Structure 1
Amino acid sequence: MAKSADPTQDGETVTAATESTPLLSAPESIATRPNGDAKPPHPNGHAAKPLDHDTQSPSPSSETEREGDDEEEECPMPTLQILLLCYASLAEPVAYFSIFPFINEMIFRLGDLPESSVGFWTGLIESLFSLVQMALMIFYGRAADRLGRKPVLVFSLAGISVATAMFGLSQNLWQMVLARCFAGCFAGSVVTIRTMIRGSLACPTDLNHAPGAFCRAPFFAQFPYALASFVAGALCLTSTLAAQIFLKETLQTAAQKSASDPKPAPPLTTWEVLTSPGVPTVLLIFGHTMFLALAYTAVSPLYQFTSIENGGLSFSDAQIAVFIAVAGVSQAAWMLIGFPPLQRWLGTGRLLRACVAFQPFFMASYPLLNELRRHGYERAFWGTLWPTLIIGSGVAMSFACVQLALNDISPSSAVLATVNALALTVNSGIRAFTPVAFTSLYAVGVKWGWADGHLIWFVLIAVAVALYVDCWFLPKAAEGNYGRKKVGGDGEGEAR
């Protein structure tokens, strides 16, 4: 889908596009190759339309390009480096989500607040991480361009390890706010990959029910939430050490750039990428999807913590941790087992619309669960909760769908990193205000008793319905491989 057949264009634009953030770098076999393809392959593997050999004969330069392609195909995939980057990328979502299972009780107990005010502070503390992260993201990107990928990444990972562990030592609301901002300061260079960490290591404030010797120690009696934060920080620290010891630098020196492409063509600017056909629409759908997901993620633990009479489930920290763990395992199962065959069968667009169509019903199940428990139908409640959670977790496939749509709509593989950087910026911006907005709305609904405390779910249902409408405007170029047809009998082609 490249716009130019200039063989010198892609080699440089790959270098330029892949230097937006430390973890969006291309594999070395691609980033340092002498020449790019005249028509780079589609980001999702769709082959570009072949040249008409009756009207255009191959030139010597094209022969050289094919030889370069053969050499590139022989280069082994840097599996270890990819695995290290994947492991390093766990640090940011672990730091962000690790407090979710216990943050509500921590604020309720340490902040000495009424239950109706917990939601506002929960959203504020959760949002500060992303707000600071978004403010420093460009700084980290520029630092990585100047200093190299590896040193900036290791610095970021080391800082987030310490900051995450410090959060559990907070003794009042303002210490929690400062610790959360401090963690966000070191999260600007890490690509966001959504994941969860169990919160079952939060020590209960009632030490008579403590699960082990750690929680009975005097230190954890004074800081009951420190153990969970220490474990999250330790996980981040292991990724720091792995990156420092094993990860290779991917930033090219000036001499390497000159040798790889002596006559570079100017890459597409960020504005040109942003205004390319279909890109704004897909970014809008991506942002809407993340908006709904982050709103649900912020509200769900608060809903589980809230008392039954106020519209929640009155779960303990351990029950919230189990709920999150089951949801995480279910999402992983849907992604690993269900998504590949469904995407091949339905295509990206149809699968996305199917997932989004189910979301209003999934959101509607939560007030129903509260009503079952409110009226004493415990067996019906537990019999409904787990099937709903396991089946409803399938909506997580929409995240993979919008990511594939971003790849498909990219003007070329050379600017794929830029497209993903734009999406990452959108995601960080949404994550900066969504938790505080929706947890505050939840608190207002609980405080005033609107719809028996279920106001937030009616809002989320409306957001889900609006997202379903948006998905029908997905560009044809981003619909995936559904209905692929052969072009000219050569076995190649793309769905459009």
Structure 2
Amino acid sequence: MSVASLQDTGQDDISADQEHSERSPLLTKTTSARARTPLPWRQLFVLFWIQLAEPLSAMVIYPFINKMVIDLPITGGDEAKMGYYAGLIESLFSIAQALTVLYWSRLSDRIGRKPVILVGLFGLTLSLVLFGISTTFTGLVISRCLSGALNGNAGVMKSMMGEITDETNVARTMSLMPVIWNTGATVGPIIGGWLSNPHEQFPVLFSGKFWEHYPYALPCHVIAMYCAATLIMSFFYLEESLISHPPPADTSTPHYYTQPSLSQVLTPRVRIAVISYAFLAFLDIALRALHPLFLTASPSFGGLSLSVRAVGTCLAAFFIVSGVYQAFAFAPLYEWMGPKRIYIVSMWTFVPIYVLFPMMRASLGSDENLNIVTWLELALQIVLYTIMDMGFSSAIIYVRGSAPNAYSLGATNGLAQTVVSIVRAVGPISATSLFSLSVQISIWLQSHWGESWKRRVVGFLGGNLIYIVFVLVSLIGVVAVMRVPESPIVTNEADDAEAPPRLEAMEISSVERGSGNICT
């Protein structure tokens, strides 16, 4: 339950029975008589600044990770194996996060959101410093796992935003989250692409042996400095949003609830919200891993053979367009279409997005250079990606609205983030491995089956295996999203018979309301 909602409860003259009948887990039905609550911009600014650290940390490696794998003694110079190792490194963060994020989220329900967020920022800082100076596969693995294991911020920040907003302003807040993510996802690849190999690109400024020996340290350390500065700022300016009330003498009172168990949190409404969110996250992270690999790989290995700098610029273009669109379009579309229709349309866009990959490869001329058709297809992908990205705002709103009560908001977001972290761990390595497998199938058929019709048919299917698989997964994702309720504000509680009691109205003292302080 948001702080704003609690304050309204303390001010409105509403009977307990009426409040219970009209209140869903975390959201209440908005009536025309209720004014829109102003957004808490100061707190949101700090949270958005923190949120920016994660996409910066995640996306900074994407322009150079494939080249880094080739440069280091990992693949033995075999470009066909590049996708396997690059995908594994990209997945390690999510694997480690999946093992720990639920612990961090449930811990934040007990000790508060702020301490957990500070630990997460420290983990990002340390891992980036180590990643930039790693010269072995083991070093890359350890630094990437450290980042995920110490960082539970993705789930905790969603809980925090759920507590400082209510049903009248949640759409506006959630529409800004993809903007922040896309800002980081824009700047991250630019930094990763333009600051790699500084001893070659900027020899006057970076002529020392250090930069020659560690060609990818500069972009990683620049982002590490951002995370360290954010840690310091959060320590001083981030306010705790978790309200802690001491237990009454008689704990049998209906207004006192302990933290529910995971089985109580995992209601049918939560399961549907989490599963649909998982499909969206899986297809998105697979696309993020596949796209730079496709752009980097040479035409003979199924790609477009762009430079690291060009890859960073292309990735930045994706997120710039999407971020601007989200900032201005999502809230009006949310009110017009509703979250479910936005969700369904977003999931559908994955089908043409994945189909465009083999179309771009086929559009290359005999000299295997990019032409106007290829660039137009790439531009169309950007437009479709922008539409798809709206689905995340709907997904977050559905997860927030499915929480059984305010004491389970952290656990609900933690469960969702655990599942999402698992699929985000599987997504990159499955996409890049399928890409390499498709290339290997195509190369093998060319050398063994000649020019028969059988080779052409099987070669087409095998060479495009990755795109066929992900189109089918996209269609399954559409079916999953169709099962979510029409609105995240659900008043039918028959399906939650085993859930813990709903959180009733909690009184906030006049001192708390007047000072604006939040108990920790």
Displacement, 1:130?
1.5
Aligned partners of 1:207 and 1:215 also within 8 Å = yes
Provide closer, same or farther for how the CA distance between residues 113 and 344 of structure 1 changes in structure 2, counting only shifts above 3 A.
same
| Distance in 2 of aligned mates of 1:75 and 1:217 | 55
- Verify the 8 A CA contact 1:128 1:177 in the aligned structure 2: yes
Aligned mates of 2:289, 2:346 — CA distance in 1: 20
Within a 5 Å distance, the mapping from 1:306-455 to structure 2 comes to 306-376=297-367, 378-411=371-404, 415-449=408-442, 450-451=459-460, 453-455=463-465
| Matching of residues 131-280 of structure 1 within 5 Å | 131-141=95-105, 143-144=107-108, 147-191=111-155, 194-195=181-182, 196=185, 197-202=187-192, 203-205=195-197, 207-208=199-200, 210-211=201-202, 213-251=204-242, 255=246, 258=248, 263=253, 264-266=255-257, 269-276=261-268, 278-280=269-271
Q: Which letter maps to 1:199?
A: P
Q: TM-score, normalised by structure 2?
A: 0.73
Secondary structure of the 1:85 match is: helix
Q: Is 1:464–2:474 an aligned residue pair?
A: yes
Per-residue deviation, 1:404: 2.7
- Worse-superposed segment, 467-476 or 313-322: 467-476
| Distance apart, 1:271 and its partner CA | 2.1
Give the whole-Å Cα distance in 2 for the aligned partners of 1:28 and 1:198. 34
Cα deviation for residue 94 of structure 1 reads 2.5
What letter matches 2:283 in structure 1?
L
**Does the C-alpha gap of structure 1 residues 152 and 466 become closer, same or farther in structure 2, counting only changes over 3 Å?**
closer
Distance 1:427 1:182 in 2: 18
Structure 1 pair 251–335 and aligned structure 2 pair: CA distance change class (3 A)? closer
1:148 to 1:31, Cα distance in 2 relative to 1, 3 A:
farther
Q: How many matched pairs?
A: 433
1:163 partner letter: S
8 A Cα contact 1:41 1:413, kept in partner: no
Q: Name 2:161's counterpart in structure 1.
A: none
Mapped pair 1:115 → 2:79: yes
Amino acid at match of 1:456: I
1:193-214 C-alpha deviation (Å, 9 max, x unpaired): 7441433344455955x14644
SS in 1 for 2:346: helix
Give the counterpart of 2:42 among 80, 87, 90.
Answer: 80
Displacement of 1:241: 0.8
Paired residue for 2:30? 47
CA distance in 1, matches of 2:109, 2:480: 36
- Looking at structure 2, the residues matched to 392 and 130 of structure 1 have their Cα atoms a distance apart, in angstroms, of 22
Unaligned runs of 5+ in 2: 158-176, 443-458, 491-520
1:130 alignment partner, one of 57, 76, 94: 94
Supply the distance in 2 between the matched residues of 1:474 and 1:113 (Cα, whole angstroms): 47
1:275 maps to a residue whose letter is T
- Deviations 1:327-384 (CA, angstroms, capped at 9, x unpaired): 1111112212222222222222222222222321121111111111254561222233
User: Counterparts of 1:316 and 1:171 in 2: how far apart (Å)?
Assistant: 22
Q: Secondary structure at the match of 1:182?
A: helix
Q: Distance in 2 between matches of 1:395 and 1:140?
A: 29
Partner residue in 2 for 1:92: 54
Taking a change above 3 Å as real, the CA distance of residues 201 and 282 of structure 1, as seen in their structure-2 partners, is closer
Equivalence for 1:58: none
Take 2:107 and 2:261, find their aligned partners in 1: how far apart are those partners?
20
Corresponding residue SS for 1:200: helix
Q: Show the counterpart of 1:59.
A: none
CA distance in 2, matches of 1:455, 1:325: 27
The amino acid across from 1:458 in the alignment is I
The answer on whether the counterparts of 1:305 and 1:315 sit within 8 Å (CA) in structure 2 is yes
Structure 1, unmatched stretches of 5+, are: 1-13, 15-25, 51-69, 481-496
- Give the corresponding residue for 1:53: none
For residue 454 of structure 2, what is the aligned residue in structure 1?
Answer: none
CA distance in 2, matches of 1:140, 1:388: 36
Q: 1:144 to 1:392 in 2, by over 3 A?
A: closer
List per-residue Cα deviations over 1:274-314 (Å, max 9, x = no partner).
224x3322322111111111111121111111111211111
CA distance in 1, matches of 2:273, 2:365: 41
SS state at 1:353 partner = helix
Shift of 1:253: 5.6
Q: Once the two structures are superposed, what CA deviation does each residue of 1:429-473 show, in whole Å capped at 9, x if it has no partner?
A: 212222222221211111222537432111111111222222332
Q: CA deviation at 1:245?
A: 1.5
Deviation per residue, 1:15-69 (Å, 9 max, x gap): xxxxxxxxxxx5488499879973365545523899xxxxxxxxxxxxxxxxxxx
Matches within 5 A, 1:296-307: 296-307=287-298
Percent identity between matched residues is 25
CA distance in 1, matches of 2:264, 2:235: 36
CA distance in 2, matches of 1:425, 1:204: 32
1:410 positional shift: 4.5
* CA separation of 1:424 and 1:143: change in aligned 2, threshold 3 A: closer
Using the alignment, how far apart are the partners of 1:333 and 1:99 within structure 2?
23
TM-score with structure 1 setting the length: 0.77
CA contact (8 A) 1:285 1:470 kept: yes
Q: Could you give the per-residue CA deviations for residues 66-108 of structure 1, whole angstroms, max 9, x where no partner exists?
A: xxxx9xx999864322321222233233322221121111111
Provide closer, same or farther for how the CA distance between residues 243 and 294 of structure 1 changes in structure 2, counting only shifts above 3 A. Answer: same
Tell me by how many angstroms 1:153 deviates: 2.5
CA contact (8 A) 2:124 2:147 kept: yes
State whether residues 409 and 477 of structure 1, in contact with CA within 8 Å, keep that contact through their aligned partners in structure 2: no
Q: 1:179 Cα shift? A: 1.4
Distance in structure 2 (CA, Å) of the matches to 1:445 and 1:272? 44
SS of match in other structure, 1:364: helix
Structure 2: distance between partners of 1:152 and 1:393: 32
SS in 1 for 2:190: coil
Query: 2-side partners of 1:408 and 1:151: how far apart?
Result: 25
Counterpart for residue 517 of structure 2: none
